[in-house]
Chains A and B, each alone.
Chain A
Amino acid sequence: MCRIAGLIHPEFEINRIEAIVDEMCLLLKHGGPDDGGLYISETDKLVLGNRRLALIDLTDAGHQPMAYQNRFHITYNGELYNFSILKEELENLGHQFKTQTDTEVILAAYAQWDVHAFARFNGMFAFALWDDQLKEILLVRDTAGMKPLYFSTASGGLAFASEMRAFKPIPYLQQSNAESSVFLMAYGHIPEPITTLKDVKPLHKGCYFKYNLRSGEQAYHSFAHYCYNNTYLENPQMEKVLYDAVERHLIADASVGVFLSGGLDSAIIATVAAKIQKSNLNSLSLYFKDPRYSEKKFQDILLQQLHCIPKQYLLDETEFHHFFPKIIQDMDMPCCDGINTWFISKYAAEEGLKAVLSGIGADELFGGYPSFKRMSIANKLKGIPDLLLKSGRNSKIKKFNRLSYLQLYGIKGIYLFLRGHFTVTDIAMQLDASENEIWNILEDLPVFSKFNNLHIKNQASWMEFNMYMQNQLLRDADVMGMAHGVEIRVPFLDDQFVRFALAVDPEIKYGGNLPKQWLIDNYKDQLPQKIWDRPKMGFSFPFQDWLTNSPFVKDLMLNSNKGSRHNYERFIDRKLHWSQLMSLILLNSKNEA
């Protein structure tokens, strides 16, 4: 796991390109504290950069960018969980390896199987691979979109990086995307394919972008995707599939821990991981003094039976205020969440852990969100004529207020109806724009095809998996973990596990009284009842109070435009949720910067 960056530009001097990529890497240093390197090809006006966080083969042999057969060069971010199997296969085909890294396996796999190699990779990854013979560069991103990769082909060059902040040294990419504020306010994050820069976009998951320097040819291809099934597995057995997935995710030469929030999903991951690692497993938990928000009692129940090395951290208000401005800075692209991930990653780093397992993905695959129940009503409400939907916008009741979002085409409208952050009226007021302008921007992007051929609950799952998890949870996990040089791994998104989950009959998968009942049923006998038979706390943090008390926030908001001042007052009056305020804080701190 590392951070990557690079630039090809036929019209720039190589020294200039090198200086730019060097600076890009410096901006990404937090995510790769162990080592750094550049690959420079003067004739091709190409520089690949890397900041390394060493997890597999900690020696210098893992230095990146790495070369293979003196022809292929890679700068790579991520983990390949099936690399040892691939390595064996490649060795049988005659490949010889100099290192113990998964990086070298990627290179050899590409040398052997060309672009067919990518679909064989089970892992989270984003990389740039340069073929010096064909003069061709490939940007590649994993099927679940766990690792980010942004790129731009503007101005006749090719620039790419793991984070948006890294584009700062490239002068021709500085035009910001004014519309991103609209998305932030509507979604609470910036959904793909939108970014904060006008000419930079994310590479779509499961895709590769190929650019041949000789012919100038560019090609954007998909190598893998996930499908929800309409024919189902007979007698699906989850335990074995998840056990294998967790086992793969524990592969590392550095120490790996597990996040233990007190909730069901991380409890399951920790239970399975503890079985594999016996007593060597480090667990990390965050708790608050205020019992209304604290999950400590659940963590304690779990820790009693897990026999791991427990680390629990009390996050208090003083620490929160101290680090809050830093968190805002570390965010890369703005997002209304991720504070807790930032703190838990900080503690993980302090404990010397380099990778931590998280429970992300279970809610999306097994129906942990309210949207799974609300999907069918939302679909029905979508049938209401637009005019009537629009009239909801003046309602004082938030739910009615968001009704108007349903006039947006397809699943996007449903998403914003169920999960929307601010209403269009609020956004227009805050940004001093007309409502029509806001509607047009939201209508335009992102686009999703209609898919009523899926089971209604699979539609909800699709939406949470591809929108909420993709754009908010995974991005937070990546960027907040990397802020401390900690890699967050997600066993529920293991390639084989995802394919398994998508092939389970929705009647089984989402059946039962409790959310995620089937998941619970599979682990009931291994978990204390208090863990699975408890209300979901979700967004319950003491941040409402803490942000109210924050002089930094007060100062920022009161010194901003009229809309911000008005919204800050609403927040103080408890009419605005802290996560909504977060978006506004980010908007204003961005303006300040």
Chain B
Amino acid sequence: MKHNDILFVTLKIFSATGGIEKVCRVAGKALYEHSIENNLTIQVYAMHGMKNASERNRYFPSELFRGFGGNKIKCILASIRKGIKSRIILVSHINLLPIAWVIKMISPSTKVLLFAHGIEVWQPLGRFKKMMLNSCDRIISVSNFTNDKIQELHQIPKEKCFVLNNCLDPFLPIPGKLDRELNLRKRYGIGEKELLLFTLTRLSAKERYKGYDFVMEALVHLKKEYPGIRYLLAGSYDKEEKEFLDNHIQKLGLQEQVLMPGFIADDEIAAHFSMADIYVMPSRKEGFGIVFIEAMYYGLPAIAGNRDGSVDALCNGKLGLLVNPTDVQEIREAIEKMLANMNAYKPNRELLLQHFSFSNYKSKFIKMLNS
């Protein structure tokens, strides 16, 4: 008899703010609620999480959480020990797959599920990794794009592959007069009537695929037509990328237009969305792009690339505009289209919630666990 119903093994869950961690927190909450409703036992492990990382979190009670503080061996052993006594093991990242594989070897009746996000599974894998991937009972991709890649690149049978789009965090502050409460425009010196483009992402030299450099190039033309236009490129940056961007901005003569405030505190993110006019991020390598659905939740029209998981986030273009992410002219035209008729591009709220509410996410997720 399996004493534990579900073991969810993650790399990090509370200690970082990236997309994968967001998925893990929301999935953890879904599992917790599922366990209450159906009298199940769950455990959430985090290899790099500290013992106290889950404290005061709103997603699930901390007693269900175990952080191993980066002690990989300890985490692996504990996960295996627990996993073989579990009905289902869910791993949040392909790098954790060896744990699930060992569990499957010892306890074939344990169901193994893997979350597949983005670039980590878009590249050819070694033979061993491929074999482990094949031993999974389910691979849950966050977008159709990732799902297709998995089937194409790694020859995973279709019936094992599922798509579960990411969702809006149920704890996002309700849209409203958020920016006015904080007086954000004033803080940045942006006039109430000035047009504001917005991108929020980690600015890293190693991950320069978000397309903000192309947006800047488009801006060179746009500023002639819209003299008051500004571009807020927010998110923490590394030194190398900052240097690159400073040069880029200078080269393009956009010192007046581009603002780079760096890291935005969690409790101010919603207000930043509320302050802006357009969310634009023609990225080339999004697994899904949670930031798009968040921006749209706050009523921002969104522009995204048409070659990655963002296609799902924008509902194939039903919620916003999809562009060729390397085509500056197309990016520019998309922005112009929106600026010419802002109301027409306000995302359809009903459609957004229908696709990306936590409630719907949870019910799809649970169906997948039980199927």
Interface residues of A (CB under 8 A from B): 113-114, 116, 119, 193, 204, 207, 210, 217, 219-222, 224-231, 409-410, 445-451, 453-454, 462
Contact = CB atoms under 8 A, between A and B. Distances in A.
Contact of B170 (A221, A410, A453): A221
Closest 9 CB pairs of A and B: A451-B63, A230-B52, A227-B62, A449-B41, A220-B37, A231-B52, A204-B36, A219-B359, A225-B61
24 contacts: A116-B174, A204-B36, A207-B33, A217-B359, A221-B170, A222-B29, A222-B32, A222-B60, A227-B57, A228-B63, A229-B55, A230-B52, A230-B62, A409-B3, A410-B3, A410-B41, A445-B39, A449-B35, A449-B63, A450-B4, A450-B43, A451-B63, A453-B63, A454-B63
Contacts of A226: 61
A291 B35 CA distance: 49
Given A204-B36, A451-B64, A227 B55 contact: yes
A114 B176 CA distance: 13
A445 B41 CA distance: 11
Contact of B36 (A207, A451, A453, A454): A207
Nearest to B32: A222
Contacts of B362: 219
B65 interface: yes
Contact of B54 (A113, A219, A227, A448): A227
B66 interface: yes
B363 interface: yes
A447 B61 contact: no
Contacts of B56: 227, 229
B36 A449 contact: no
B39 A449 contact: no
A449 B64 contact: yes
Given A222-B29, A227-B62, A453-B66, A448 B41 contact: yes
A425 B110 CA distance: 34
Given A231-B52, A449-B42, 14 more contacts: A116-B171, A207-B36, A221-B359, A222-B33, A224-B58, A227-B55, A228-B63, A230-B55, A410-B41, A447-B39, A449-B41, A449-B63, A451-B63, A453-B65
Contact of B4 (A193, A449, A454): A449
Contacts of A119: 58
Nearest to A230: B52
Contacts of A221: 33, 170, 359
A386 B19 CA distance: 45
Contacts of B35: 447, 449
B51 A230 contact: yes
A466 B188 CA distance: 49
Interface in B6-48: 29, 32-33, 35-37, 39-43
B62 A229 contact: yes
Contacts of A114: 174
Given A114-B174, A230-B51, A409-B3, A222 B36 contact: yes
A206 to B, nearest CB: 9
B55 A231 contact: yes
A interface majority secondary structure:
loop
Interface string B168-183: 0011011000000000
Contacts of B29: 222
A203 to B, nearest CB: 10
B58 A219 contact: no
Interface residues of B, number: 34
A409 to B, nearest CB: 5
Contacts of A447: 35, 39-41
A219 B39 contact: no
Contacts of B51: 230, 453
Nearest to A229: B55
Interface of B: 3-4, 29, 32-33, 35-37, 39-43, 51-52, 54-58, 60-66, 170-171, 173-174, 359, 362-363
Contacts of A451: 63-64
Nearest to B66: A453
B131 to A, nearest CB: 32
B10 to A, nearest CB: 15
Question: Which of A226, A227, A449 is most buried by chain B, counting CB atoms within 10 A of its CB?
Answer: A449
A533 to B, nearest CB: 34
A445 to B, nearest CB: 6
Nearest to A204: B36
A145 to B, nearest CB: 12
Contacts of A113: 174
Contacts of B66: 453
A229 B4 contact: no
A204 B61 CA distance: 14
Contacts of A231: 52, 55
A33 B31 CA distance: 42
A410 B41 CA distance: 10
B63 A229 contact: no
A221 B363 CA distance: 11
Contacts of B60: 222, 225
B54 A193 contact: no
A103 B190 CA distance: 43
Contacts of B42: 449
Contacts of B65: 453
B56 to A, nearest CB: 6
Contacts of B3: 409-410, 450
Question: Which of A116, A229, A230 is most buried by chain B, counting CB atoms within 10 A of its CB?
Answer: A230
Contacts of B62: 227-230, 453
Nearest to B29: A222
A483 to B, nearest CB: 29
A324 to B, nearest CB: 35
Nearest to B3: A409
Nearest to A449: B41
Contact of A449 (B37, B43, B55, B363): B43
A313 B280 CA distance: 74
A409 B39 CA distance: 14
B174 A227 contact: no
Contacts of A409: 3
Nearest to A220: B37
A461 to B, nearest CB: 11
A224 B4 CA distance: 24
B39 A446 contact: yes
A229 B52 contact: yes
B77 to A, nearest CB: 15
Nearest to B5: A447
